[in-house]
Structure 1
Amino acid sequence: WLVGATVVMVAVYIWFTRMVTDWRNALRTRMNDLDTGAVAHAVDSLLNFETVKYFGAEEREARRYENAVDAYARAATKSENSLAWLNVGQAFITNLMLGGGMAYVAWGWSRGSFSAGDVVFVSTLLAQLFRPLDLLGMVYRTIRQGAIDMGSMFDLIDTPAEVIDAPGSLPLRVPHGHVRFEGVRFGYDPERTILDRLDLDVPAGTTVAVVGASGAGKSTLARLLYRFYDVGEGRITIDGQDIREVTQASLRGAIGIVPQDTVLFNDTVGYNIAYGREGAGDDEVRRAAEGAAIADFIERQPDGYDTRVGERGLKLSGGEKQRVAIARTLLKNPPILILDEATSALDSRTEADILDTLEQVERGRTTIVVAHRLSTVVAADKIVVLDQGRVAEQGTHAELLRRGGLYAGMWARQAREREEALAAE
């Protein structure tokens, strides 16, 4: 009878531990999600502090964060309470079995069925049985809790990479820098095509500008050339090599980009320039800064190249950030250059200064300029107009104006907008 009761109580102990642990896991998963949400609220508000101040929304953001933290605190309390219930339940089952067993043998001893040695033996045996059972229960819930906490990491690890190097892929060789898009079809969503059988030729050493309405797929070209995504149909080649058949590291090492929104690390200006090429020396960093016409500004700062730029470069102006981006691209010294609306967020005077610098940077490189302001691409060797994912027109600035097509209409519209802006001043 005692053995049977012990087996039943052990089974009850295991069942209770598993049931309550599963309940705790659900509570802990929600707690982790709310913790992530609270941190995301804080980071989002801090990164966009200027927008918050523009709209006087400090109290609103504080309330959002307070609500998120309160929700997390309530979930954390429930999670801790569930642990208390688990411990209490396990202790109750253990003590019930120990107490029941001791009561049984004590009753038997009083009737003469058990000796004093039997009482000591049974009590010792029950204690030795439940001590490792308690330990196993603790280990089980610790492992399950750890699995929950690391669940997101495991999901990320298990997510297959969308773009991988092909088996046997070789390093990209760029003797010239001739870029071609051949019959390229692509869409971020299978139901919405961004580029539709696009053909684009960028001869080596030339500057080709890509213009068009918003959503025409201009910036998508840069992402595809960097191979952040693979094309759905067609191919992209550099000097005749399909970029899907070369290593991603060699491909990205051959391309430099100056984006519209330059993001800098919260470190020194010297570090951000040196990021363009690992192992670059101080002299190389200075030459790159001189080439980007930002060396004088840096040297006027009290800390020089050790001047910290702040979160996302917030301590620098838009023009200064762009010059840092140009400097690190110069340090990288790629044969192919992408200017992705690099001056669209700048005022006219700063834009003109940056364009002069970029003109020097483009020399001797194959350059693709993605632009919205047509005035910035007048000097390009070729201008390509995208419309609904296809090349609608291409030619020089003068040729496209003579044709009177899409480009001419865009030019006339932007000219009117410039005149109206000047008149308003």
Structure 2
Amino acid sequence: MFPRNKDKVVKPTIDEQGNTPLHTAAWEGNLEVARALLKRKADVHAVDDKEHTPLHAAAWKGNLEVVKLLLKHGADVNAKNKQGKTPLYFAALKGNLEVAEALLKHELGVDSEDSEGCALLHLAAWKGSSKIVKLLLKHGADVHAENFERKTPLHFAACNGYPEMVKVLLERGADVNAKNFEGCTPLHFAALEGDLEVAEVLLKHKADVNAENEQRETPLHVAAWKGNLETVKLLLKHGADVHAKNSEGNSPLHLAVWEDNLEIVKLLLEHKANVNAENSKGRTPLHYAIRNNDYPEMVKVLLEKGANVHAIGNERCTPLYFAKFNDHVDVLNKVSEASVNVESCQNLSSDQKGARTPSCCSKVLNKMAHRLKNKCNLYYNQAITEASGSASRADNRPDLRLNDTNIENLKAGRDGGWQYFRP
């Protein structure tokens, strides 16, 4: 297999990936073959088409004796592949502690970064390799190291759900409130993933429960949006601000309603969340409960807690308008059960344009006529007359203006050409 002339340098056979026989021996952990190749002057620095050296291969596979042999023959412990990854990177990735220890004895820069700016400690934290993390820290790894997204090893440990790793990093001085480029702390990531254990460890180490990211979202916003009920409970227990608003003015209640997280909505309301809180568009949680989807139970819960069906957003739209616009029959029934005073539709119709013209309000009134009956005060006359203007036949025919009883109203509507919907 090998030339008999001991002084002759081996001319390696390179495969389609650029691997030399020494790469193959290192990968397979064949110590004797590796020794024979090196004795015949095989290039210990040879790289494949991705710039992996034989030492990369041995470290990846955890072949300790081959690693030691290659190091003895001058292998570059700091060699990087095309992605900037060293042999120690692969040892950390695979959790090969003994290989990592052997590499660290050869003047390795423990804070060397890959092409994404991640140090070895980031990788070990991401993989949950606590022994590797401790080893790197012992050799001076920077616990505050940031990658290109400004994530620290603690962010990685929190995001991937390693409570013990989180403890180790915090005990070594990691900043519990460190923020990445989006302003997210490790607690934001724990809230996002719904990892109760990690969140508990972070809060025990004084994590800011009301820390805001670049969108002014707190961990409670994130947990409410993702539907992580137990995490929401924990955050509230530690003083999370139930009234906090993000950059769009949305409270955690807005986001929970938006995602139809009913149990979280109930919990937030139990903790005195403002059921009529308005965001930057002037919309309340009830607007979203009705507008986004047909959530009759959500609507019922909000109404029982005092949600205002007459709340007018910046577009001059009430929740009642959205109910009609989306043709939510079940929601309309829930609204009718709340004893709605339809006189408020006068406000709805005053400034509507295009698809939101006064005729939309009249359609709401028509749709509601059969459902509300004796449950509401039917002040259609003023609302429709003033809202409809000259475009309405009812406005030009005083004899057709609506009166105070259902029968008279329905008759007037029929004579005036108004379209009614069956319940």
Q: TM-score, with normalisation over the residues of structure 1?
A: 0.29
Higher fraction of strand: 1
Q: TM-score, with normalisation over the residues of structure 2?
A: 0.29
